[in-house]
Structure 1
Amino acid sequence: MRKILRATESNSKQLMRETGLTPSQLIFMQILEGGQEVTAGQVASRMGITQATTTALLQKLESAGMIQRRRGERDRRQVFLSLTESGKKALAIAPDGVHARFQEKFSSLKDWEQIMLVAALERVADMLDMSELDAAAVIDHVAELAGDAPYEPS
């Protein structure tokens, strides 16, 4: 577990130095990277985080000028999100995150290996009584503990 925490902490520091983004903010932006507008609810669902966490990430990224909101034309209650030019530039310079490397290696495993790893990790989370904890908050908290301040645009 220490190796996992050390790897994510190191990656978080590198990401913060190079882009000013937290891992959760980077993942949020990567979901928007395809160029197609999505809603905050769709982002929350894909990231597996709560609507409240999504809203907090959205507000930080919007105030940093990385993403923009647009009201739906047919339904004004619907809000679509997309990257700004600054957001696209930040993504272009962002280092490959530990999440991306894990996903690449995990998807190359055989099905039975993937199932075994997921089961083991779920068991560890249950043992730590962390099943209800939002993963994005944990990842960003590692950066806070390391003394990295969140990105503030100048």
Structure 2
Amino acid sequence: MEKIKCICVMRELFRALSELESRLMQSHGVSLNEAMVLCAIGKERVAASTIVERTGLTPSHASKVIRAVEERNLLVRALGEKDKRQMYFSLTKEAHNCLKGIREQGIDIPELLQPLFASYAEGVSDSCE
């Protein structure tokens, strides 16, 4: 693929992801990154490093998203039992309800992304909770 075409494809992909995020915000009140953080935690109690690993966000970006979700009372922060310097995060009831709504109602997937979602859905379990 020509290098300039690659940029054009990436532009279209970015636009599709922006559209997906807008739909997610409208229907469930969370951004794509916020939803990924909630999904990365699920029913567990995890450290920030686990969230970074599971979402692919950089540590600094994950920290900002965690803080934003925490401010909206979707996360609870707790000190580690063995190491008081370590922070652990778990979801609130509101966050569980948000994930349940996403799971039950779904999100309209932009046309460009539909083949990716269709191929991914085959044989993949729901890792959110």
* TM-score normalised to structure 1 length: 0.61
Partner of 1:86: 94
Give, as a single letter, the amino acid of the residue that structure 2 aligns with 1:74. K
Q: Alpha carbon RMSD of aligned pairs, Å?
A: 2.6
- Once residues 52 and 114 of structure 2 are traced to their aligned partners in structure 1, the CA distance between those partners, rounded to angstroms, is 18
Runs of at least 5 residues in structure 2 that lack an aligned partner in the other structure: 1-8, 123-129
Residues paired across the two proteins, number: 108
2-side partners of 1:78 and 1:90: how far apart?
27
Could you report, residue by residue, the CA deviation over 1:49-72 in whole angstroms, capped at 9, with x for unpaired residues?
211111101100000011111111
CA distance in 1, matches of 2:85, 2:114: 34
Secondary structure in 2 matching 1:45: helix
Partners of 1:7 and 1:26 in 2: how far apart? 17
Comparing 59-68 with 9-18, which one deviates more in the overlay?
A: 9-18
- Structure 2 CA distance for aligned equivalents of residues 107 and 20 of structure 1: 24
Q: Distance in 2 between matches of 1:104 and 1:84?
A: 30
**Pairing 1:24–2:38 present:** no
Aligned to 2:18: 9
Match runs of 1:135-146 below 5 Å: none
Equivalent residue, structure 2, for 1:105: 119
1:96 shift after superposition: 4.4
Distance in 2 separating the partners of 1:77 and 1:53: 20
**Percent identity over the alignment?**
21
Q: Provide TM-score, normalisation by structure 2.
A: 0.71
TM-fit CA distance, 1:97 = 7.6
Give the structure 2 partner of residue 49 of structure 1: 57
Q: Do the aligned partners of residues 103 and 60 (structure 1) sit closer, same or farther apart at CA in structure 2, a change above 3 Å counting?
A: same
Segments of 4+ moved more than 3 angstroms: 96-104
Counterpart secondary structure, 1:69: strand
- Equivalent in the alignment of 2:67: 59
- Change in Cα spacing, 1:27 to 1:4, as seen in structure 2 (3 Å) is same
> Do 1:39 and 1:79's aligned partners in 2 also have CA atoms closer than 8 Å?
yes
